A and B are shown apart, each in its own frame.
Chain A
Amino acid sequence: MITHDRWQRIKEIFQSAQEKTPAERIDFLNEMCGDDSSLREEVEALLTADASNDDDHFLDTPAFELGAGLIVGDTHEPIEFSAGQKVDHYTIVRLLGAGGMGQIYLAEDDHLGRKIALKFIAREFATNPRRVLRFEQEARAVSSLNHPNVCVIHQTGVIENNRHFIAMEYIEGITLRDKLARETLTSLEALHIAMQVAAALASAHAAGIVHRDIKPENIMVRPDGYVKVLDFGLAKLTERVSQPQPASKNVRTEAGTLMGTVKYMSPEQLREFELDERTDVWSLGVVLYEMLTGLTPFESRVPNDSIVMILGPQPVSLPFPDHVPVRLREIVSKALQKDRDTRYETTHKLAADLSALHKELERQSDGDTEAINAPASNLYLPPVKSGKTQQLTAGSAIFQRLKSQALSTSDFLVSEIRTHRTAAALFTGATGVLVLLLLLPSAPRVTNWLLSRSAVEKVFVPKLTFLTNSGTSVVAAYSPDGKFVAYVEEEFGKQRVVVRNAITSDSWTVTPPEEGRYLGLSFSRDNTFLYLTRKETDGRSLLYRLPYPATASVQPLSLQVKADVHSAISLSPKGDQYAFVRTDKNGNGFSVVVADALDGRNERVLSTRGGDGGSTFSTLGLSWAPDGRTIVCPTGYWNDGFHMQLILIDVNTGNERVLGTKDWFFIDQAAWQPDSSGVIICAREAETTPFQLWRVTYPGGVVQKVTNDLNEYRGVSLGGDKIVTVRTERPWQTWITTPGGGQSVQIASGVGFTYGITWPTSDAIIHASKSGDRMDIRLMNPDGGNKTPLTYSGINYTPAGSPDGRYVVFSSDREHEGSFNIWRLDVRSGDLKQLTFTDANYYPSVSPDGKWVAYDNMSNTKMSIWKVPFEGGEPIKIIDGYRMPVFSPDSKLIAARYDEDSGSKDVAIFSADGGEALQRVPVRIIEWQTVRWFDINTLTYIERVNGVSNLWSYDLRTGAKKQLTFFDSDEIVAFAWSPDFKRVACQRVSNIGDVTIISSER
């Protein structure tokens, strides 16, 4: 050990030596150390170490950063990668950064020797395989963009431990965020950056990819001025991400997820509307404004205030520094129109304006700039158009009204919270509570009620808790005591039943994954049995019973107790009987039946529906009242479209009466509240509005909203005062694929239902998809570009192109809401012609000779196929008992769907003039899906195996089947061949469902 004195001596020599030149040092050391060689070694070693310290910055980084690494490591990602480690064919060089999405490393590509950036997706974003898949599909689409301003994605992949990574272009530069922190940009510099971002976005939008998260952190600026936009498609992973229990934590995470980027979110994004490219226009507008002024236009230190400002009315004008050219202010304000219909409709146009101005400014930068730099007093665009409410949901219409009526920020806030889920999550994030409308008085009073402070205080605050987060849940039910929840999980086309202890959160699978579809689950009143109604693959619908509380062991479903049960059952309060809905063999008759719970005997039919009126009972769920005297059941009928109401059936007399006066387009399921004060139902008001939960009071029949947001909730079951339902989502994509091993490309995507696709000419694909509460026919190029809606009013679906591509025929209720007829649209001129004048006409098909339009009619539950001349005229009935006609290539035959007695739906071929079926084709048709002719001898159809759909062909002469596409996920709901039959466009959807508990908190 060195002594204190010795150390002082060493220090003296070391520090003096520092002041000498290297040449002087040797003499100096010789002189100072003399014969003491160990002293000399000591000093020399220190001098050597000191020299190396300057080179490698030893200890220059404070241990703070260790602390941060420690903390982040502990809370975030337990596994990191060290230099030299191999990942796929990459070698890690060093960590570049860690963001919320995961960590990014600099790495070297072993094959190509180039540097790349390797981003590992944080585990929490990779828990749901479907979302990862959606992201990867998007990444693939992005990787095909090949635009100089888009950060190139080289590869996505997964290594052991399910770590997903993205290999992307390594960009040497800084983020725009860092750049803005360091310097103030001139208008010209800001324009130069914005222009490049707009160009990147325009190219992505042309391919159907919306970025959704444009902000300075995602824009890299290279030293040479080149701009690269990062993280295309990554937003896919964070949309409604991870929902770890408990729910409070989850909501906080979701809220937090949005917190950082609220300032760049468009109004429609905050409202969780379906997004299109205009959301990116908005966000780029915010970024551009920030580059010009140093602040975002709706800047506030408090995220809540930012939200209020973003969702609030259009400001009369936004302040700009004097040096910002007038034209540039105009561009920014056009990008920042809150009503997206008055915003730039495409980034392409925004990019064009930016680059034109850039040119202009560059040209003028040497000369006279007066013309551009005029003061900005009168430059604001006209005020936002009011109206457009017909394009929004009912909830949003309220929002629109409130927007003009809100008297103050707080009133506006109150209404927003109650209308929109994202905003609600943001506002209430800290407490982990989603605020929804509950016990809302009927519609006409909505506005007053919302604005009335005193009324607000009386409101229940429902709390949403997500029991599952895999996205694979289908049906759920509560035990009457609220202690257990049973739900169905579907994976790879197989369903299994899981029971979960609501108190301990333990859960266990009680049936093995099997084919067949569970229609409903019900607990017995005394908590001794779990009843399961399942539709088997052979079309039978059976009731099973499992002992309960179920044990952790998985039991095959062998305890079938009753056949021909077509709905979830509901037990009588005493538990001695149960009620269910039965449909007769051809599906045309419906009855409400009660039977003894013990053995399923002593059947008694209480009420029937069916026949010419086309009326039905819902097969999804009736409910036996707590008083034992009545059963509530949703019933439907045709009268200017399809409607459903609640009826009360007297158990003893079979007498019926309607509960309340409101009707819905569809009621999924009904459940009595235990105190008989009302019935909670799951219903949608119109065909294109989402399924929401409602309460209908008893006996008054007053209708109130339980949920009021843009999600879909399917099913309702009560456990005490809690509701269990399944929150669902249905993302779709359009893919073009070349059968026989060709490439597949995604050209469009969205969320919600899609109804039909057609490919009449080589440059036009026409499909129907939902956006907000609109269902429109849309046109696009086969590369996804040039997306144009063709319809603007009513609900429009099942498009079919004419052979010359000039017309599209489709089903629409544009003339009379809820009443569907076949219409013909001239794609170029927009001229419309109504071809049928009855009700419930769907699935048109144009004969290849251009003479006829065939369609089906469903106005009573007896389906039939008709045809009408293409130019209009008298419709002719072709055949009864069939649906979804498709003309053969020679126009002489029609292939259509018919329903087997067993309940399965197969294909038959008959003459286009009618008559008996010529050929029955043993391919099963899945609901809402049609076949397509490939040639006169070949039909193509959708086959679903293990939950995954692919296209197959069927040879009508030999009966041979052949698989044509090889997708490994998702369902195909519609497809269309290109005119040359070389490519096929597929509409693919995935269903995402999470079991959700709704409880009320005062």
Chain B
Amino acid sequence: MATRSSEGITQLLEKWSNGDEYALDQLTPLVYDELHRIAQNYIRRERHEHTLQPTALVNEFFLKFFDQNSTSWQNRAQFFGVAAKLMRRILVDHARAHHSVKRGGDRFAVSLGDIAAFGAEPDADLLALHDLLNRLEEVDADQARIVELRFFGGLTIQETAEVMKISHATVEREWKMAKAFLKRELTRARNSS
């Protein structure tokens, strides 16, 4: 199934990355299905295990879902860029749906527990983060892209540097400032609300 569907997915991803928003509509349920399928497999396999390792799970998702060796990808950068954008889109859509149903939904409370600043209303914060990132993009597109790759794409600083063809030190510097900006804005938004 993974092989068969990944061709279609790859094409859809390409279309989407070329600006075809309709392709995303077709893509999202596929991505969801695949995520669910992998998660279920994972849970089944790990039924007796003490902990679930989310990173392993999502890595599996990326490996299976995106055929990154496909010749149609111009380069690694494009691949990771699209992957990160897709993850961002999915999470934001999910948070949006969840947030509208139930303010301060409890589902993310725990998952976000480690991300201290995310506090009591994680769904709202994820949406706020998304909006801030859009604002950041207007003034500093590179920083926004770094955040997208690092936070939504899960790339390391080194990987981000490779993908963006800039130095390790630059990524580190820009990442630091972008985080400071996001943190300040999130804190400001919370304090004023």
* Residues in A lying within 8 Å of B, measured CB to CB: 1-4, 7, 11, 14-15, 18, 45-50, 52-53, 56-76, 78-83, 94-101, 103-104, 175, 177, 213, 215, 217-218, 230, 238, 252-253, 256-257, 259-261
B177 close to A (CB within 8 Å): yes
Q: Report the minimal beta-carbon distance from B149 to chain A, rounded to whole angstroms.
A: 10
CB under 8 Å from chain A, chain B span 149-193: 150-154, 173, 176-177, 179-184, 187
Chain A positions within 8 Å of B180 at CB level: 14, 46-47, 49-50, 53
Q: B57 near A96 (CB under 8 angstroms)?
A: no
Q: Report the minimal beta-carbon distance from B190 to chain A, rounded to whole angstroms.
A: 13
Stretch from B19-27, B73-81, B106-114 at the A interface: B106-114
Chain B positions within 8 Å of A256 at CB level: 44-45, 47
Binding site of B, secondary structure by majority: helix, strand, loop or mixed?
helix
Pick from B43, B54, B177, B184: contact of A15, CB under 8 Å: B177
12 A-B pairs in the complex with CB atoms less than 8 angstroms apart: A18-B173, A50-B179, A58-B117, A59-B115, A59-B150, A63-B88, A64-B55, A68-B55, A72-B43, A99-B46, A175-B50, A177-B49
Q: How far is the CA of A256 from the CA of B39 in the complex (A)?
A: 13
Q: B183 near A49 (CB under 8 angstroms)?
A: yes
CB under 8 Å from chain A, chain B span 34-51: 35-36, 38-40, 43-51
- 17 further A-B contacts with Cβ under 8 Å, apart from A58-B116, A71-B39, are A14-B177, A45-B184, A50-B179, A58-B115, A59-B147, A64-B87, A65-B54, A66-B108, A69-B108, A75-B39, A75-B40, A81-B110, A94-B113, A98-B51, A100-B47, A256-B44, A259-B44
B9 close to A (CB within 8 Å): no
Q: How far is the CA of A61 from the CA of B58 in the complex (A)?
A: 13
Pick from A7, A73, A74, A260: contact of B45, CB under 8 Å: A260
B139 close to A (CB within 8 Å): yes
Q: B50 near A218 (CB under 8 angstroms)?
A: yes
Pick from A56, A82, A252: contact of B106, CB under 8 Å: A82
Chain A positions within 8 Å of B113 at CB level: 82-83, 94-95
- Binary CB contact string for chain B from 103 to 129 against chain A (1 if under 8 A, 0 otherwise): 000111111111111001000001000
B15 close to A (CB within 8 Å): no
Pick from A57, A69, A99, A218: contact of B107, CB under 8 Å: A69
Q: A57 near B176 (CB under 8 angstroms)?
A: no
- Binary CB contact string for chain B from 78 to 94 against chain A (1 if under 8 A, 0 otherwise): 00000000011011001
Nearest-neighbor residue (CB-CB) of B182 within chain A: A59
- Assuming the A-B contacts A52-B183, A68-B39, A75-B40, are A238 and B150 also in contact, with contact meaning beta carbons closer than 8 angstroms in the complex? no
Q: A67 near B179 (CB under 8 angstroms)?
A: no
- Binary CB contact string for chain B from 43 to 75 against chain A (1 if under 8 A, 0 otherwise): 111111111101101110100000000000000
Q: How far is the CA of A46 from the CA of B184 in the complex (A)?
A: 6
Q: Report the minimal beta-carbon distance from A258 to chain B, rounded to whole angstroms.
A: 8
B140 close to A (CB within 8 Å): yes
Chain B positions within 8 Å of A177 at CB level: 49-50
Chain A positions within 8 Å of B154 at CB level: 62-64
Chain B positions within 8 Å of A60 at CB level: 115
Nearest-neighbor residue (CB-CB) of A47 within chain B: B180
Chain B positions within 8 Å of A1 at CB level: 135, 138
Q: A46 near B177 (CB under 8 angstroms)?
A: yes
Q: Report the minimal beta-carbon distance from A110 to chain B, rounded to whole angstroms.
A: 20
Interface hub of B39, B48, B52 (most chain A Cβ within 10 A):
B48
Interface hub of B38, B58, B111, B177 (most chain A Cβ within 10 A):
B111
Nearest-neighbor residue (CB-CB) of A259 within chain B: B45
Chain A positions within 8 Å of B138 at CB level: 1, 4
Q: B110 near A63 (CB under 8 angstroms)?
A: no
Q: B110 near A94 (CB under 8 angstroms)?
A: yes
Interface hub of A15, A45, A64, A99 (most chain B Cβ within 10 A):
A64
- Assuming the A-B contacts A49-B183, A56-B116, A71-B39, are A260 and B55 also in contact, with contact meaning beta carbons closer than 8 angstroms in the complex? no
Q: A217 near B50 (CB under 8 angstroms)?
A: yes
Q: How far is the CA of A98 from the CA of B110 in the complex (A)?
A: 11
Pick from A74, A104, A238, A257: contact of B36, CB under 8 Å: A74
Q: A18 near B176 (CB under 8 angstroms)?
A: yes
Chain A positions within 8 Å of B91 at CB level: 63, 66-67, 70
Q: How far is the CA of A308 from the CA of B153 in the complex (A)?
A: 41
Q: How far is the CA of A14 from the CA of B174 in the complex (A)?
A: 11
Q: Report the minimal beta-carbon distance from A956 to chain B, rounded to whole angstroms.
A: 54
Interface hub of A72, A215, A218 (most chain B Cβ within 10 A):
A72
Q: B111 near A4 (CB under 8 angstroms)?
A: no
Would you list the 3 A-B pairs with minimal beta carbon distance, nearest first? A69-B111, A68-B54, A100-B47
- Assuming the A-B contacts A56-B116, A80-B109, A81-B110, are A63 and B87 also in contact, with contact meaning beta carbons closer than 8 angstroms in the complex? yes
- Assuming the A-B contacts A2-B139, A3-B139, A62-B154, are A69 and B43 also in contact, with contact meaning beta carbons closer than 8 angstroms in the complex? no
Nearest-neighbor residue (CB-CB) of A43 within chain B: B180
Q: How far is the CA of A50 from the CA of B174 in the complex (A)?
A: 12
- Assuming the A-B contacts A57-B115, A100-B48, are A76 and B110 also in contact, with contact meaning beta carbons closer than 8 angstroms in the complex? no
Q: A82 near B109 (CB under 8 angstroms)?
A: yes
Chain B positions within 8 Å of A18 at CB level: 173, 176
Q: Report the minimal beta-carbon distance from B119 to chain A, rounded to whole angstroms.
A: 10
- Assuming the A-B contacts A7-B139, A49-B181, A94-B110, are A260 and B115 also in contact, with contact meaning beta carbons closer than 8 angstroms in the complex? no
Q: B50 near A68 (CB under 8 angstroms)?
A: no
Chain B positions within 8 Å of A58 at CB level: 115-117, 179, 182-183
- Assuming the A-B contacts A53-B179, A58-B115, are A70 and B107 also in contact, with contact meaning beta carbons closer than 8 angstroms in the complex? yes
Interface hub of B57, B59, B110, B117 (most chain A Cβ within 10 A):
B110
Pick from A7, A74, A94, A98: contact of B52, CB under 8 Å: A98
- Assuming the A-B contacts A46-B181, A64-B87, are A80 and B58 also in contact, with contact meaning beta carbons closer than 8 angstroms in the complex? no
Q: Report the minimal beta-carbon distance from B137 to chain A, rounded to whole angstroms.
A: 11
Chain B positions within 8 Å of A48 at CB level: 184
Chain B positions within 8 Å of A50 at CB level: 176-177, 179-180, 183
Q: How far is the CA of A896 from the CA of B24 in the complex (A)?
A: 80
Q: Report the minimal beta-carbon distance from B106 to chain A, rounded to whole angstroms.
A: 5
Q: How far is the CA of A808 from the CA of B138 in the complex (A)?
A: 90
Chain A positions within 8 Å of B114 at CB level: 57, 61, 65
Interface hub of A61, A218, A252 (most chain B Cβ within 10 A):
A61
Pick from B52, B87, B153: contact of A99, CB under 8 Å: B52
Chain A positions within 8 Å of B153 at CB level: 62
Chain A positions within 8 Å of B47 at CB level: 99-101, 238, 256-257, 259-261
Q: How far is the CA of A561 from the CA of B172 in the complex (A)?
A: 87
Chain B positions within 8 Å of A257 at CB level: 44, 47-48
Q: Report the minimal beta-carbon distance from A179 to chain B, rounded to whole angstroms.
A: 13
Q: How far is the CA of A11 from the CA of B175 in the complex (A)?
A: 12
Chain A positions within 8 Å of B147 at CB level: 59
Pick from A7, A71, A217: contact of B35, CB under 8 Å: A71
Q: A62 near B176 (CB under 8 angstroms)?
A: no
Chain A positions within 8 Å of B50 at CB level: 97, 99, 104, 175, 177, 217-218, 230
Nearest-neighbor residue (CB-CB) of B40 within chain A: A75
Pick from A49, A62, A73, A94: contact of B150, CB under 8 Å: A62
Q: Report the minimal beta-carbon distance from A930 to chain B, rounded to whole angstroms.
A: 42
Pick from B90, B112, B152: contact of A62, CB under 8 Å: B152
Q: B177 near A213 (CB under 8 angstroms)?
A: no
Q: B177 near A215 (CB under 8 angstroms)?
A: no
Q: How far is the CA of A3 from the CA of B139 in the complex (A)?
A: 7
Q: Report the minimal beta-carbon distance from A800 to chain B, rounded to whole angstroms.
A: 43
Q: How far is the CA of A61 from the CA of B110 in the complex (A)?
A: 13
Pick from B48, B49, B52, B94: contact of A68, CB under 8 Å: B52
Chain A positions within 8 Å of B139 at CB level: 2-4, 7
Nearest-neighbor residue (CB-CB) of B147 within chain A: A59
Pick from B46, B54, B106, B179: contact of A260, CB under 8 Å: B46
Q: How far is the CA of A398 from the CA of B148 in the complex (A)?
A: 62
Chain A positions within 8 Å of B106 at CB level: 79-82
Q: A100 near B43 (CB under 8 angstroms)?
A: yes
Q: Report the minimal beta-carbon distance from B127 to chain A, rounded to whole angstroms.
A: 12
